Structure 1
């Protein structure tokens, strides 16, 4: 597996060629380079996976060179391949390759620079691969910052519209807040372990992190760093605005790369979190609150991509609930299945947007199932997986495993908190079914409001076909191989005692039943009683609730008051640099003294005599006062 570095090198070379060529490259050449680079990376990953399997799942390390050496701190540019990193690399390159193929169709004729787009896309994949393959946390942080930079470049890709630029700045700024927390965590880890080698930290956390207070703050900083990238409350506000970028960008960010980085980090360093049980509970609570807030927000969105964005936030909440319940394998498997069906949904929404002449408002669509039946089928399968329809979709096999694990963890640890979190997750599943049906119904049924033209091309339907199959129950066949991979990487299996198996199955069946009930409610509300829904929404109370949900409970407005406005006020106050202005008093005083003394040099004898006389009087007065005081 000495060729492992090629998985990163191929997209990096693609980025360099595309960035250097830019407008000098035709669209066909740019597509071949951009898509081909990630395709070669995917093939290398496949070959590495086969080699990994033949060697019995033994972890492999490849040290390329020493990055730097400062005061004995000498992190390597080194790669580490085990079951977890292989899973992540396969997801990034495999799903990323399909998204690149689709993007080659979607971005045709783009006036902002076809080659420029693919250069950013290739760099994004390369950065994510550095993140997941790096054998130390310093290298992980390099990839972490790389995907942050690429998200800024791609979200603000349509730079002519200032709103897109602000969305990119917002994503970059909010995720940087999380990155500061992650950097603090790295400092704490290096202080305690003397290294940032990931394997060493994971294997020795139970021995080194004996100070519970220090373990708490280290784990908390790690999670807050992860929360920034994975859009968990309170650092979730950037995700919905990230829809400003092209639709393939949304698919890549939300399905296979950036937002999954936080889940990967917390699962990779799970032993650190096990030394701080309070932080694990906090992670589950954060995930539960996030999925509920995102579920309500998705219910009332009008932009097709924003509905899917909030659904991403919600599904990430389930993954973090699993991490907090120590069901790491369940969370990681849901991350994989989510990559399949969310990429399918985002790319399908891109096809809808192209068919409707770049219209994204779902209330201006309708009746599309006849015009683009294949896209309709993709939406039904992807939406079914999102809502976790039992047995026939892959989402059922991953999401319900998380809910069952959360319920079981509460029973095993005798923590009523996790029972509450289980019911929160069930409520989130109920909301998911409603807003998923709402989305599909408004887009594909009813009266046609925007004339849609047929779409065609193998680069459009090919990736969708593969993702469609993987989003059905067929994708569940990957569960056993994924468990084997993660077990080889020493990611713990969440074991349910035999005495609890019946109760856990009952909890999972309850979750399925309530999710199906949500689907029935969605059918009633939007297929049969939509006029009543609109009537309620137009009342004062309905409009108020809709506004709260549409703005995702006002986090943006709150942050604007608490952080943005005070910062702008401070910037205005310090705009002229008062410290620098204070130092300007010195030359002003010297200049004033010079002007005064120069003014007194008149050359008139009587003025000089009067000045001397005045000075003598002043001296006499001072002398008298001094003597009297004595």
Structure 2
């Protein structure tokens, strides 16, 4: 069966190709084809999951891709526990989002094209996680970037959507440069870009210590760009300009998890450099707190969930940065996050669908009565996210907090303490979202929507709430699965290594679990006490410095503008000046000199014989004068 694993990529890829070639002729059936191809890919992924031998790695060569001298790159696919986990997550959650999109995009004239882009996105993600070399991974990496650009900028008539798409594309290119440079280093030292060859070369000591550390940092830069980690996180909340299914697809189980996959897949590289792992953990720690703090200040329901994703990916990065003891924990939280965050985004889309596309939570309130199914499914995702037992987030997030404390010394207290604080903040901002959206006064009765119409909230159709219900069941069921000991971690062992116990934790596992629950409960209670009262429809302007900073994304955009954008603009202007006045000036000046000189010499050609005879006579006198001067000097 593994020999035909290329079908996983071919099915959604073929769907995208057919829909793009068919164009408007696919209006009536394009959405059906898009859903069918992803469904077939999911079914085939299930077959591989149950039939493939994941105790070992199977690499399949599809064809010789780049046979150029010493650079021999095959387009090959790798089937192991890690890749199959991502295959099921991408195709399974992607399939549900496809079905949800049938209802959500029902009135969009370009729905067939939307499904083509969704298929392209899924196909690119599958290339990324199935490739057996870093170059093949890079192909999927760039394909995902292209598809995300097209989907984020779907509403092309909105300047904000076009800007958000461009911002996502450009910021991801910064990370992509890091990944490309890392691949160059691999080829220099290992003579190959294949996983097997590169990891063997690392184990054989062919890489210098500096090269391994540089390679790890550059890989992390690529991961930060794709996964929205500090300092390249600013694009991710702006990506909410795309339709809600896009937000669910990008922020749940696909694009933003690619960075976590990259670090986990490159474990042999990161295991060889403690400095590289430390930087990964620090990035994850900073990012999880940054996302939590900003999420507390936004009133846009999708942006709150977006910063929640930034924070939760921070937990995953913290886990995979801890090394062999926690690679599996990062993947476990990634899987759980894929269920509950996709459900939360689809729930937010359901709320928007019933509220005339309004995203401001201050204009919601009391929607649990009007949208009971959305409320229940969203509520289960909420409980899973904040880590309430026995839902999935409790088992995965608490394990990461325990592993962070297990680092011992200052690392344990700083990283474990930050992760524990993040759990409390997560409970606070998510409870704030729940209360402002589903509880309290029905504020939407007294105001108009953004386009002047009255609000008439209603439950979404079955094609939308059924995928939400399935994801809600997954949020609960994944918790039960993770509670069955370490079976999932052991299943991942051939790909990411054995899950080890933390030996340096200053606190026991029981104490850490109780502390996490206490922090979460405190966050819930505090948010409920603050936001249960009547919420003003207009956002207060007189707020604390922390709130103002959080509303400005903790000045992340300002930081990027100051450190990258403006210096880049100044450098470009300086180079343009040098090019115009220096390079072009020299070339144009030489041309002007030759042209001017030839123009003046041309005046000597009069066509009169007497002029030429006079000039010859004058030349003769000059020559004689020169000879006499030399003779008598």
Residue matched to 1:506: 511
Give the secondary-structure state (helix, strand or coil) at the position aligned to 1:256. coil
Residue matched to 1:224: 221
The answer to whether the 8 Å contact 1:368/1:452 transfers is no
Residue matched to 2:388: 389
State yes or no: 1:22 paired with 2:26: no
Greater Cα offset, 571-580 or 240-249: 571-580
**TM score, norm. by length of structure 2:** 0.90
State yes or no: 1:524 paired with 2:529: yes
The answer to whether the 8 Å contact 2:340/2:385 transfers is yes
The answer to whether the 8 Å contact 1:328/1:494 transfers is no
**1: CA distance between counterparts of 2:54 and 2:612?**
105
Cα offset, 1:569, TM superposition: 4.7
Alignment of 1:99-178 (within 5 A): 99-111=97-109, 113-178=110-175
The answer to whether the 8 Å contact 1:179/1:228 transfers is yes
Q: Alpha carbons of 1:6 and 1:596: their partners in 2 closer, same or farther (altered >3 Å)? A: same
Q: CA-to-partner distance for each residue in 1:391-429, whole Å, 9 max, x for gaps?
A: 2x2111111110011111x23xxx322221111111111
Q: CA-to-partner distance for each residue in 1:599-619, whole Å, 9 max, x for gaps?
A: 577899999999999999999
Residue matched to 2:252: 255
1:286 to 283, 286, 308: 283
Residue matched to 2:490: 484
**2: CA distance between counterparts of 1:214 and 1:567?**
27
Cα offset, 1:24, TM superposition: 1.0
Give the secondary-structure state (helix, strand or coil) at the position aligned to 1:235. coil
**1: CA distance between counterparts of 2:598 and 2:395?**
86
The answer to whether the 8 Å contact 2:222/2:259 transfers is yes
Residue matched to 2:273: 276
Residue matched to 1:36: 36
Q: Alpha carbons of 1:613 and 1:491: their partners in 2 closer, same or farther (altered >3 Å)? A: same
**2: CA distance between counterparts of 1:291 and 1:262?**
15
1:416 to 410, 435, 448: 410
1:426 to 420, 436, 444: 420
The answer to whether the 8 Å contact 2:145/2:169 transfers is yes
Q: Alpha carbons of 1:301 and 1:624: their partners in 2 closer, same or farther (altered >3 Å)? A: farther
Give the secondary-structure state (helix, strand or coil) at the position aligned to 1:584. helix
2:472 to 452, 468, 476: 468
**2: CA distance between counterparts of 1:622 and 1:247?**
91
**2: CA distance between counterparts of 1:481 and 1:100?**
30
Cα offset, 1:494, TM superposition: 2.4
**2: CA distance between counterparts of 1:198 and 1:341?**
32
Gaps of 5+ in 1: none
Cα offset, 1:200, TM superposition: 3.7
Give the secondary-structure state (helix, strand or coil) at the position aligned to 2:204. helix
Gaps of 5+ in 2: 450-454
The answer to whether the 8 Å contact 2:372/2:459 transfers is no
Residue matched to 1:51: 51
**2: CA distance between counterparts of 1:592 and 1:81?**
71
Alignment of 1:62-461 (within 5 A): 62-111=60-109, 113-208=110-205, 211-326=208-323, 327-391=326-390, 393-408=391-406, 410-411=407-408, 415-445=409-439, 446-449=441-444, 451-461=455-465
Q: Alpha carbons of 1:594 and 1:61: their partners in 2 closer, same or farther (altered >3 Å)? A: closer
Cα offset, 1:153, TM superposition: 1.0
The answer to whether the 8 Å contact 1:487/1:493 transfers is yes
Give the secondary-structure state (helix, strand or coil) at the position aligned to 1:68. strand
The answer to whether the 8 Å contact 1:154/1:249 transfers is yes
The answer to whether the 8 Å contact 2:373/2:459 transfers is no
**1: CA distance between counterparts of 2:201 and 2:607?**
88
Q: Alpha carbons of 1:352 and 1:530: their partners in 2 closer, same or farther (altered >3 Å)? A: closer
**2: CA distance between counterparts of 1:288 and 1:126?**
31
The answer to whether the 8 Å contact 1:469/1:475 transfers is no
Cα offset, 1:303, TM superposition: 1.4
Give the secondary-structure state (helix, strand or coil) at the position aligned to 1:174. helix
**TM score, norm. by length of structure 1:** 0.90
Greater Cα offset, 156-165 or 241-250: 156-165
Q: Alpha carbons of 1:546 and 1:500: their partners in 2 closer, same or farther (altered >3 Å)? A: closer
Residue matched to 2:588: 584
Residue matched to 1:549: 550
**2: CA distance between counterparts of 1:87 and 1:176?**
27
- Aligned Cα root-mean-square deviation (Å): 3.0
Cα offset, 1:178, TM superposition: 0.7
The answer to whether the 8 Å contact 1:254/1:309 transfers is yes
**1: CA distance between counterparts of 2:533 and 2:552?**
27
Cα offset, 1:72, TM superposition: 2.4
Cα offset, 1:561, TM superposition: 3.1
**2: CA distance between counterparts of 1:50 and 1:605?**
102
**1: CA distance between counterparts of 2:202 and 2:609?**
90
Cα offset, 1:586, TM superposition: 2.1
**2: CA distance between counterparts of 1:385 and 1:624?**
108
**2: CA distance between counterparts of 1:625 and 1:507?**
106
Give the secondary-structure state (helix, strand or coil) at the position aligned to 2:312. helix
Q: Alpha carbons of 1:3 and 1:210: their partners in 2 closer, same or farther (altered >3 Å)? A: closer
Cα offset, 1:591, TM superposition: 2.4
**1: CA distance between counterparts of 2:278 and 2:425?**
23
**2: CA distance between counterparts of 1:314 and 1:109?**
34
How many equivalent pairs are there? 615
Q: Alpha carbons of 1:170 and 1:624: their partners in 2 closer, same or farther (altered >3 Å)? A: farther
